[in-house]
Chains A and B, each alone.
Chain A
Amino acid sequence: MINVSNLSKTFTNHPVLKGIDFSVQQGEIVVIIGPSGTGKSTLLRCLNYLETPTTGTIQIGPIKVEAGHASSKQITQLRQQSSFVFQNYALFANKTALENVAEGLMTVWKEPKQQALATSMKILEQVGLGDKAHQYPAQLSGGQQQRVGIARAMAAKGEVILFDEPTSALDPEWVDEVLAVMKQLARSKQTMIVVTHEMQFAREVADKIIFMEGGHIVEQGPPEQLFNAPQSERTRAFLARAMKG
C-alpha cells in the first residue's frame, strides 16, 4: 500500500537520506528506530511532503509522486493519503480540541459542520477526551494535547498515520496515556509508521522494525529478529545501548 523507492533528501550539500527503499502493507505497524540525526524524522516528513525529497518516488494508496515532478495538486493529494502526529503536538492554537479534530473534515472533506462535529466527538471519546472537547490547547496537559493530535490524525481519512516521536516532548507522567492510545489504534489495524525511542513499545506493537543509521536503512524485519537476532553489528550495538538506557 505504501511504496518508497530510492528516496533521498539533501539539505544544501548535507545529504540526510541516501536512497531509502521500503514498503508497508495495509494494517501494518512499522516502527523506525535509530540514533538521533540519522534522518528518521526527515523520512517521515518526506512521506507527508512536509520536506520535499530530492529524488525518489513515494506511493501511498492510489497516489504516486515522483520527486521533482510533483504538481502542487499531486502534493496535496499525497498529503491527504496520510496524516501526521507531531512531536510538539502542533495543535491549532485558535481552535478547541473538538474543532482541531473537525477542521480537516470541514475544510478538506467539505463535510457539513454538524456531521463533522459529531464524528469528531466520537473520535475524541475514543482517545478518552470527550470531557475536554471544548477546551483550547493551552488549557490541556501535554499528554492530553498529544491525544488530541492523534485524534486529529485519525479524523483525517488518510491511509496511514505517521508518528514523529510522539512521546519525546512529554513529561514522563504523560507518556503512558499516549502510548495506550497508540496501542489501541494498533489493535484496530490502523496502518501506522512510528518514529520513536520507546523500545518497549516497538517490541510489543510493531509488525516490522526498521533500523536506520546515517541516512540508510541498515536492517528491517520483525521485532523478534531485530531484538533477538540482529543481522548487523550496528543494529546490535545500537540496541544494546538503547535497551540499557
Chain B
Amino acid sequence: MNFDFIYTLELFPILLKYLGVTMQMALIGFVIALVLAVAIAVVRVFAVPVLNQVAIVFISFFRGTPLLVQLFLLYYGLPQVFPWLVGLDAFSAAVIGLSLHFSAYMAESIRAAILGVDRSQMEASLSIGMTKLQAMQRIILPQAARVASPSLMNYFIDMIKSTSLAFTLGVAEIMSKAQMEASSSFKFFESFVAVAIVYWVVVVIFTQLQHRLEIHLNRAYVK
C-alpha cells in the first residue's frame, strides 16, 4: 500500500483555513432556509389563498430538480436573462441556491410537525382570546420545533456536505482546496481522505450539539 500519511496530516491545516467559508455558507444558508421554511409551512397550514399555490409550486420545483442544476441555473443561467444578476458573486449564489433548495424540504418537515401538534393546543389558545398567528408563534411553533428538530438537523448536516457543490461555481471552500491540492500533488486518495475526515468531524460535532438541544427541548416533557 502506498499511502502518504505525513502528506495527509500536513493537508489538514491547509484545508482548515477554508473551513470558515464552508461553514459560513452552511450556517447563513441554514438560517435563511429556516426562516423561509417556517413561513412556507405556516402559509401551507393556514392555506393562505394565492401564497399557498405559490408555495406548492416552489416546493415542487426545488425538490424536483437537482441542487447542482439549481446552482448552475442561478449562477450561470439567470444572469444571461437578467443582466442585473451579472454582479452576483459565487459565494452569494451558492448561499441563495442552498437556502432555496433546503427550505423546500424543511418546509414540509416543519409543516408535518405543526400538523402533529394536538388540535387542542390551538383551541386552548383561541379560547383565551389569542389570534391564530399569536397561537402559532407562542404555542404551536415552539412545540413543533421539538418534533422537527431531529429532521432539521438532518437537513443541516446534508447542507454542510452540499456546500461542496459550491466548488463548481468557483467558491474557494474546502472541497475546492482539496481538489486543487490533489491535482498539483497527484495524491488524490490522501487529499480526498483528508477532506472527508474534515466533513465527518464537523458533522459529528453538530450531532453532539443536536443531542444537547434535544434534551433542552424535551425538558417540558420529562415526568
User: Which residues on A are within 8 Å of B, measured CB to CB?
Assistant: 48-50, 72, 76, 79-80, 82-84, 86, 88, 90-96, 103-104, 107-108, 136-139, 152-153, 155-156, 158
Contact = CB atoms under 8 A, between A and B. Distances in A.
B221 A91 contact: no
Interface string B191-223: 000000000000000000000000000011111
Contacts of B143: 93-94
B127 A50 contact: yes
Interface of B is mostly: helix
A94 B220 contact: yes
Contact of B220 (A79, A138, A156): A138
A136 B134 contact: no
Nearest to A79: B129
Nearest to B221: A138
B130 interface: yes
Given A80-B129, A156-B128, A50 B123 contact: yes
Given A93-B220, A94-B142, A108 B127 contact: no
A90 B124 contact: yes
B221 A93 contact: yes
Contacts of A138: 220-223
Interface in B105-163: 118, 120-121, 123-131, 134, 138-139, 142-143, 146
B126 A50 contact: yes
A28 B34 CA distance: 50
Given A84-B124, A90-B124, A156 B223 contact: no
Contact of A107 (B134, B142, B219): B134
Contacts of A153: 127-128
A125 B118 CA distance: 28
A103 to B, nearest CB: 7
A116 to B, nearest CB: 12
A170 to B, nearest CB: 16
A158 B130 CA distance: 13
Nearest to A80: B129
Ranked 6 nearest A-B pairs via Cβ: A80-B129, A84-B127, A90-B120, A104-B128, A90-B124, A136-B220
Contact of A91 (B124, B126, B131, B222): B124
Contacts of A104: 128-130
Nearest to B124: A90
A171 to B, nearest CB: 16
Contacts of A103: 128, 138-139
Contacts of A158: 129
A96 B219 CA distance: 11
Interface string B55-93: 000000000000000000000000000000000000000
Interface in B30-57: none
Contacts of A137: 220
A104 B142 CA distance: 16
B130 A92 contact: no
B121 to A, nearest CB: 7
Contact of B139 (A94, A155, A156): A94
Contacts of A48: 126-127
Given A138-B220, A138-B221, A138-B222, A90 B121 contact: yes
